[in-house]
């Protein structure tokens, strides 16, 4: 089965109806990631097949939930923290063209790759930021991360970048109850959403968080 056929099969399993143009961009992104990875070591996963399942489909599994939130709450901006090779930030930008996606990473080569991806894939809604998340001045409706840090560190480092009534979405493996228990007062987990990644037999979830009402000004 070709890479495109496997991708389309995965999208069907996720009930994620993307256009041919979006599918083409996802495949082009995968090729670009493979090309850069040979030189810059953006990800430890090198096998194209594993990149499809462990990276692309793994990130795509969160897109239906992101789209639902985007539509329900009219979210217009998302910050992806510790984007690395653009997972899930670039995938989100491809699948959600009306959402402004900014990817922040402290590693220059990774930030440069994401900017290259934005240009080559023609994604005007994607921007790369080479900085520490604590230094950012803009504020975002949604802040995401994948395999980045503990929930406590993720929310603490990015708290100043969260817009009023905004939410965090942390992509995790197994249900991270110890991390949830370690969250400070003022951070509320309002949903832990289980995900099923096509072609990948592994536990995945999204931990949705927000500031409690009396902490929004903190």
What confidence tens digit (pLDDT) does each residue in 167-217 have?
999 999 999 999 999 999 999 999 999 999 998 888 999 999 999 876 544
CA separation for the pair 185, 67 (Å, rounded): 29
pLDDT at 147 (0 to 100) = 83
Name the residue ranges covered by the structural domains of the chain. Answer: 3-215
Question: What pLDDT is stored for residue 218 in this prediction?
Answer: 40
Angle at 127 between CA 152 and CA 167, to 5 degrees: 35
pLDDT tens digits for range 69-117: 999 999 999 999 998 889 999 999 999 999 999 999 999 999 999 999 9
CATH of 3-215, one of 3.10.20.30, 3.40.50.150, 3.30.70.560, 3.20.20.70: 3.40.50.150
| Res 1: pLDDT | 74
Residues 6 or more apart whose Cβ sits within 8 Å of residue 185 = 212
pTM: 0.93
* 48: enclosing H helix or E strand: helix 48-50
Nearest to 186 by CA among 151, 144, 150: 151
24-69 residue pLDDT tens: 999 999 999 988 887 777 675 667 677 787 788 999 999 999 999 9
Residue 64, pLDDT score: 97
Q: Between residues 71 and 123, which one has the greater pLDDT?
A: 123
pLDDT for the residue 84: 85
| Residue 214, pLDDT score | 65
- Lookup: tokens for 176: 């991270």
Integer CA distances (angstroms), 166 to 109, 126, 159, 185, in order: 29, 19, 10, 17
pLDDT for position 130:
97
Residue 48's pLDDT is 67
Instruction: Tally the C-alpha atoms within 13 A of residue 106's C-alpha that lie toward its C-beta.
Output: 6
pLDDT of residue 36: 85
3-state secondary structure of 66: helix
């Amino acid at each position: 089965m070709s890479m495109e056929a496997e991708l389309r099969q995965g999208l069907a399993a996720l009930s994620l109806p993307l256009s041919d143009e979006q599918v083409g961009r996802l495949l082009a992104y995968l090729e670009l990631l493979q090309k850069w990875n040979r030189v810059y070591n953006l990800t430890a996963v090198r096998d194209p097949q594993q990149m499809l399942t462990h990276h692309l489909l793994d990130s795509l599994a969160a897109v239906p939930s992101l789209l639902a939130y985007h539509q329900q709450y009219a979210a217009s901006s998302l910050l992806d923290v510790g984007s690395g090779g653009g997972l899930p930030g670039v995938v989100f930008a491809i699948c959600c063209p009306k959402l402004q996606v900014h990817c922040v990473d402290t590693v220059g080569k990774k930030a440069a790759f994401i900017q290259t991806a934005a240009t080559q894939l023609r994604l005007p809604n994607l921007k790369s930021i080479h900085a520490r998340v604590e230094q950012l001045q803009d504020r975002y409706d949604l802040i995401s991360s994948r395999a980045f840090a503990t929930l406590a560190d993720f929310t603490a480092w990015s708290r100043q970048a969260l817009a009023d009534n905004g939410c965090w979405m942390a992509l995790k493996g197994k249900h991270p109850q110890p991390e949830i228990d370690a969250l400070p007062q003022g951070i509320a987990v309002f949903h832990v959403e289980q995900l099923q990644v096509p072609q990948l037999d592994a536990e995945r979830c999204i931990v949705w968080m927000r500031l409690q009402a009396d902490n929004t000004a903190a």
